[in-house]
Structure formats: C-alpha cells, structure tokens
Chain A
C-alpha cells in the first residue's frame, strides 16, 4: 500500500477506497510557526554570531526567488530557512473560460526556458480529457523534441548556473584551502576529457571565459538547432499540439536532427567524466560536503517519453502507459519506490496554502478520480486559487508558491528524479541503450569521435547538492540515448509508411471532461490538471518542479525541499569576518535543484478581468 498518511486503502482486488470510520479523513494539523520565530529572535538578541542572511534575489532579477535564512556563523550552522516565491503570474487566470487549445500557448509563456514542456504537458492533459490518441510518429517525434529540450537545459544549468560555484574563481574566494589540493588531484577521466588535474577542470569552469562554460553554450546551440528542426522555434515550439505534432516529418528532418544528436555522444562522455572528477574531489577532500543540501531522497516524478505502442492517452490505462515510458513515473520516499502508477501519483497530490498568499477554498467537487480512487479536497482538480496578498511574515504567510505534497510529504523534483526512479524501479521496458539495475542506470553511448562507452550512474548514499548535479550530468547521456532510440523508431515508422503525425479532434461542446498532463520539465515533475466544461476550460492547475522545490512550510510545519536542504547544509566556507561570508554552501544547495522561478507561482481568479496587485516586497528587512 503506497499511502501512509492519506486515508486511502486498497481492497484485495487492488481497488482504492476511503478508510471507513475516520471522522474528517482529510483533516490536518496546522502548527504555529511563531514559536520557532520567537526562539530565533531571542537567540539573535543574545548572540552576535547569529544573523539573518537574505539571498534576495537568488536570481538577480527581483521578483523571482528569495531565500531567508538565520545562520550561526560561530557554530557554522543554519538555524532557520524560508523559501519565498516573491512574484506571481496570471497564466492560469487567463485560461478559465477559454478554448482548451489556448492552454498550450498561454501556459508555455510562463517561462523563458520551459516552453516546450508546458506545451506538451498541456497537450497531454487535453488528450486525456478528450480521448485523443496521437499516431505513433507523433508520439515518437514529441519524445525526440523533448529529449532535445533537456539536452539544451542540462548543459545550461551545469555549466552556466551551477558550474561557476565549483570554478577556480569561486573556490579560491570561498575555500582557498582546496585550490592547492585540486592542483595535486589527478583527474581520473583524463582519457575522456583531457584534463590532467581537477584544478585544470575548475579553471575551465570559470564563468564567461572558461572553455567548459563556452563549450556548454556551444552545445546548447547544437541542441537548439535540432529542436528547431522539429519544433520550428525554441523555446516555444509551434508544432506541439494535442493529438501529436503539426509538422511534416521526413527522412531529411531526421537527418537534420541526427547530425546534431551525435555530437551529444562525445559530449555525454565528457560531461559525466568532468563532473565525476569535480564532485569526487570535493567529497573525498571534505566528507562534510556530503551534508551540503542533503535531504532524504523523497521525490516525485511524472515520467516522460511515451512508447508509441502503449500510449493511448486514457486515464483508464495510464498506469500501463506510464510504466511503459522510457522514464518511470512515481514516488520515492527516502530512496524507496512507493509507487510507479500514475493514478496513485495523481491521487496523492494535494496543494496547501496556509503559508502562501492564497485563501483556502471550499468545495470538494471530485471526491474520486474517474476510476474511483479517493481524491482530497486539496487535490489539483478540486483546487480553487483565491489570491490573498498581504503582509509577509515568517510566522504566517510568506510566499506566492503553494505547498504541494504527495501523501502529505513535501516532494523534491528534478531531472535526476526521473533517472533515480527509473533506475531503482526497473519498470521501464527493455531498451537498446539503457539498462536499469535497481541500484544504477547503465547507459551505452555509441561511438562518434570518441569510442563507444558504457556509462553508469549509481544511486548515491547521500542525496545532496553534489549528487543532484552529478545525476543531472548523467541525464545528458540518458536523454541523448532516449532521443536516439526514438530516432531509430521514427526511421522505422517512416520506412513503413506510418507518416501520420497527428490525430484530428474536436472540442466537445457539452459535458464535463477531466484530464491531467504528466510530463517532465528539464527540471523534473510537471503536471497540468484540466477540467473542460461545455467546451471551455473550467479549471486549469499547474504544478511545476519549482512549485515543489521552492515550497514554503507545510501546514504541519514540514519544510519545503529548498528549506530542508539548506537547513541541513553546514557552513564550510572559510571567512575571517562575518562581513566576508558569501554563503556559497547555501547557494550550492539551492542551485543544485535547478531553480526555474518564473514557472513557480500561478494565480487564478474567478474571472479573466480579475486584477491582483503585487503587494509583496522582496526585501526581507523588518519581516517578522
């Protein structure tokens, strides 16, 4: 039985039911965060080494993610954390009352890098709600497109956002004791990447000028070119539609893609060797780095990349086609797989707003899913978002992000979650290039200019900032090989004359139709929950990876994933005076999640003319 906290049980035939005899089955405890704040205030008054440190914004542009923490600079400990999404966007407001086909265009504009995944997830939600099964080539080409999107995203994050935190420049400024050691540390992957020492690698990780930094930019260009061959535009593809894709696919299209994709064969080998060397160096030289950003491997993932012979878009079969995906959907709790079924993943989802600028809502329209599995009033299909801007307070409400949970547990999301779950669950069908062992994923990378290689990502003992990034590096060969396997399938389909790429459909003007799209963003877990009524959108709810990761406290006090990861992070940075403290360990912890803040916050009002004024200052000064 996968649920430990929600009142859902299963009979002998595996049918879910609401546990009987529970007075208020979905009730939950709301704790007073003020007690913790009073203690901190007291400590800060007594001890000069304890101070508030605000990372505002974590991204430079105000109005994205801000992070507040209280640190004890003498004991080198983080005492308290608050993750704040300080902006809201109205992408969901606008969808109410509209044609469901507008959802892809509007939702994909939420972000400057995640357009394709929002468009695809929206298409999947519509396909489920309206019963549209795309043809095999449409499914396969969508898989290739989105695998390529990850090939754009992962190098960008690894080398342009997180990479500089491990560069010679940053390490010399924050942990100079490691520089000499890095100079003497032989790089184990020299045969692949060409660097003799770890310091040589770190120098090329330097921002803006480092060769690895610039090479990553160049590789994102390669990925973009391949993406555009299918999607027309990056990052907002013009060809992703409910029912498949809207572009004619020929052998020439596939050749365009292949000539770019093969460049990722060598790059995959190089990137994984680079990051293995860098992260092994840090962890071997100071095992305390294992605690940087550490939290239990409690994660959710939607799975991604559908099998053309399995995906039929129906809710009824979603467990089957979900498990047939190249990446397995499901939930990990403390490193153990608790479900790989999309129905259970869906039923366990709830969103809470006790520490967010939203009002709670009444009503429990969908008490079960279409097959009878109980759904909470806080489930996305039941959610009604009512904005409630107000004073920012650590004791009460402090974020525009909500607190999504699965079975009442805050869940982490990331590209790495899809690899972790797939490797651990061993449910994905046999693959030409991928093998899941239960403790690792083995990836066969074909030769390009480098000889063919067998790469193995192993499930780590500690789930920390370093391992998140290491896993993300291995997601490059993972994604490339899924793209390659689908490319081969596309070739075969075209040879067999299966050139249809989309299924026509009409929006029904009557009745209620519900569906959800479950598809991973570059940053992991992404769902769109849709209700279509009388031909228009009645409700549309989006949960993005950063909605999960940047969540504020749960009503019962459990910290969100960023908050928990930072709370567990030791301060290993070297500094003489408190004024010199830069907070690199905390930033490494947050950046390891690949924050994508514009997607995080969504607002939905009752009508499209509803206007809500932003009343939240991003400055944390004076907040109680």
Chain B
C-alpha cells in the first residue's frame, strides 16, 4: 500500500501527494499512564515518519481543535489519536485500536460535550463527537488506546506501560502504512453508542 494519494487540485488537475496524516496526543499531563500521549509526544516527534505525517499535541478544548482542523489548507486524510482511557476487562498496558465510524449522540449529549469543552475539559470522546458534529474528521480516524489502569498522579509511565511503548509506536506506523489491514484486532466506536 502506498502512502501517496491522488488529490484534485483547484484547476482540476490530479496530482500525486503524500497522504496527510495527523497523529494527535490527547490527555492531561502529569497523570502517569493516563498521560501517555503528552509523555510520548517528544519521543514521537524525534522519530522519522513518512512524508505527510504531522505530530502534535491536541490537549486542549475541542472547539479550538475543530478550528485548527478547519484552518488547515490541505485537509487530513487520516487522523490517529494516541490516548489512554481506563476501560473494563483490559490489563494495564494493553493496546486497543479503535476505528471511529462517525455517528452522533442525541443533541442534548452533543451540547453537553460542547459545554464541557467550554469549561476546559480535555477528553478524546468529547473531541470525537464535537469534531464529528462539525464535520472535520476524515474518513479514517483511529484511536491507539493504551490501558492506563486507575488514575494516579505522576510524570512517568509505569513499567507495564513503558515496556509497551515500542509496540504503541509500531501500531501507529502500521496504521499509517497499511490502514486496518495490518491490525489483527480492531474495535469500533460510534458517536451514537459512545455514551450508552
């Protein structure tokens, strides 16, 4: 699979350009495993990535993130969020790849997400819903989600998560190179079932 994409130019001519892929880290700082995104951000930035890959933190209000995506001259073809959300039935350090399939909760729930965004809450679920509502996401949106265990304060990852870092990076690389083809198991998230 190639990382090149045929894009229409303004004059209607087709051109081959690198897929634009955004790797965004989402999460509060200083919460140990829950902060895997912010902690790994410098590490990710130092690595070599294919042409067209952007890496940045998205640890802020989803309204500003929406505006950031709207302001991009070239829209993204793929977005990968690196997150750590405590979920049942996972062991600490377990990596799950979620594909965002879109869909929206009811309006009351969307407004609740916007309300949270206005109060400064950082949450990938809020971000997914608000981005979906304002139509900023490309067709391919993934979460590489690492099980953090209970929320604790701290600036470092625990041993269980630290040893999974190479695998986390490899998972992101696989998604960039092969999409879901290279991922053994994938789960799906939808906005209309996210809060049930």
Binding site for B on A (CB under 8 A): 59-61, 63-64, 87-91, 93-94, 106, 109-115, 156-157, 160-161, 164, 207-208, 217, 220-221, 224-225, 234-236, 595-599, 603, 605, 608-614
- Which residue among B115, B119, B126 has the maximum number of chain A CB atoms within 10 Å of its CB? B119
* Cα of A458 to Cα of B123 in the assembled complex, Å: 38
Q: Which residue of chain B has its CB nearest to the CB of A106? A: B29
Complex alpha-carbon distance, A93 and B153, angstroms: 9
* One of B13-21, B74-82, B104-112, B163-171 contacting the partner: B104-112
Q: Do A91 and B64 have beta carbons less than 8 Å apart?
A: no
A94 touches B155 (CB 8 A): yes
Expressed in whole angstroms, the Cα–Cα distance for A114 and B118 within the complex equals 10
Contact string, B78-118, partner A, CB cutoff 8 A, digits 1/0? Answer: 00000000000000000000000000000101111111111
A-B contacts, 26 of them at CB < 8 A, read A60-B121, A64-B121, A89-B29, A90-B31, A90-B155, A93-B30, A94-B29, A109-B38, A112-B64, A113-B118, A113-B120, A114-B120, A156-B63, A156-B118, A157-B118, A161-B114, A208-B111, A234-B64, A234-B68, A236-B60, A598-B28, A605-B153, A611-B32, A611-B153, A612-B152, A614-B150
Q: In the complex, which residues of chain A have a beta carbon less than 8 angstroms from the beta carbon of B152?
A: 611-614
B111 — which chain A residues lie within 8 A by C-beta? 164, 207-208
Complex contact A61–B121 (CB within 8 A):
yes
Cβ B67 vs Cβ A60 within 8 A? no
Task: Decide if A609 touches B154 in the complex (CB within 8 Å).
Answer: yes
B141 to chain A, nearest CB (A): 20
Bound-state CA distance A161–B63 (Å) is: 12
Q: Does B151 contact A (CB under 8 A)?
A: yes
Minimal beta-carbon separation of B131 from chain A (angstroms): 13
Cβ-defined partner of B115 (8 Å) among A161, A220, A221:
A161
> In the complex, what's the smallest C-beta–C-beta distance from A187 to chain B, in angstroms?
24
B160 within 8 A of A: no
Q: Which B residues lie within 8 Å of A608 (CB)?
A: 155
In the complex, what's the smallest C-beta–C-beta distance from A393 to chain B, in angstroms? Answer: 21
Pair A112/B153 contact, Cβ less than 8 Å? no
B148 at the interface (CB under 8 A from A): no
Between A113, A156, A236, A612, the greatest number of chain B beta carbons within 10 A of the residue's beta carbon is seen for A113
Judge whether B132 is part of the interface by a CB distance below 8 angstroms: no
B61 within 8 A of A: yes
Contacts of A87 in B (CB 8 A): 151
- Besides A60-B121, A63-B151, A236-B60, 6 more A-B contacts (Cβ < 8 Å) are A89-B29, A93-B155, A161-B119, A164-B111, A598-B28, A614-B152
Q: Which of A90, A112, A220, A612 has the most CB of B within 10 A?
A: A112
A606 to chain B, nearest CB (A): 13
- Minimal Cβ-Cβ distance residue in B for A64: B121
Tell me the smallest distance from the CB of B37 to a CB of chain A, in Å.
Answer: 11
Which positions in B face A, CB cutoff 8 Å? 28-32, 38, 57, 59-61, 63-64, 67-68, 70-71, 107, 109-123, 125-126, 133, 150-156
Contacting residue for A596 out of B67, B71, B120, B153, CB 8 A: B120
Considering the chains assembled together, what is the distance between the CA atoms of A89 and B110 in angstroms? 26
Among B57, B114, B119, contact of A597 (Cβ-Cβ < 8 Å): B119
- Chain B proximity of A400: nearest CB distance (Å): 11
- Report whether A59 and B115 are in contact in the complex, using a CB–CB cutoff of 8 Å: yes
Alpha-carbon separation in the docked complex, A160 to B59 (Å): 20
Q: How far is the CA of A90 from the CA of B115 in the complex (A)?
A: 24
Q: How far does the alpha carbon of A236 sit from the alpha carbon of B126 in the complex, in Å?
A: 19
Q: Are B119 and A64 in contact (CB under 8 A)?
A: yes
From B29, B70, B113, B123, give the contact of A109 (CB < 8 A). Answer: B29
Least CB distance from A198 to B in Å reads: 21
Contact A160 B63 (CB under 8 A): yes
A598-B122 CB under 8 A given contacts A156-B63, A221-B67: yes
Contact A91 B29 (CB under 8 A): yes
Given A112-B60, A598-B122: A60 touches B116 (CB 8 Å cut-off): yes
Bound complex: CA A613 to CA B148 (Å): 13
Q: How far is the CA of A613 from the CA of B158 in the complex (A)?
A: 14
* Assembly CA distance A603 to B155 (angstroms): 13
Complex Cα spacing A88 to B153, Å: 8
Q: When the two chains form the complex, which single residue of A93, A207, A217, A613 contacts B63, counting CB atoms closer than 8 Å?
A: A217
Q: Do residues A614 and B30 form an inter-chain contact, with CB atoms below 8 A? A: no
- When distances are taken between beta carbons in the complex, the residues of chain B under 8 Å from A93 are 30, 153, 155
User: Are B113 and A60 within 8 A (Cβ)?
Assistant: yes
Chain A nearest CB, measured from B104 CB (Å): 10
Whole-angstrom distance from the CB of A562 to the nearest CB of chain B? 13
Which residues does chain A contribute within 8 Å of B151, judged by CB atoms? 63, 87, 613-614
**Which residue of B has the minimal Cβ distance to A222?**
B67
Contacts of B109 in A (CB 8 A): 60
Min Cβ gap B128→A in Å is: 13
- Please pick, from A90, A106, A208, A217, the residue contacting B110 in the complex, using a CB distance under 8 A: A208
A220/B30 in contact, CB under 8 A: no
Residues of B within 8 A of A59 (CB): 115-116, 119, 121
Interface pair A112/B122, CB less than 8 Å apart: yes
Complex-state Cα separation, A220 to B133, whole angstroms: 17
Residues of chain A within 8 A of B38, CB atoms compared: 109
Q: Which residues of B contact A60 (CB under 8 A)?
A: 109, 112-113, 115-116, 121, 126
Task: Tell me whether B120 and A208 are in contact (CB under 8 A).
Answer: no
**Cα distance A224–B117 in the bound complex, in angstroms:** 15
Given contacts A61-B126, A224-B67, A609-B154, contact A91 B30 (CB under 8 A): yes
| Shortest CB distance B121–A (Å) | 5
Residues of A within 8 A of B59 (CB): 109, 112, 236
Nearest residue in B to A93 (C-beta to C-beta)?
Answer: B153
Measured in the bound complex, the distance between the Cα atoms of B155 and A385 in whole Å is: 18
Tell me the minimal C-beta distance from A210 to chain B in angstroms.
11
Is the CB–CB distance between A89 and B31 below 8 Å?
yes
Contacts of B112 in A (CB 8 A): 60
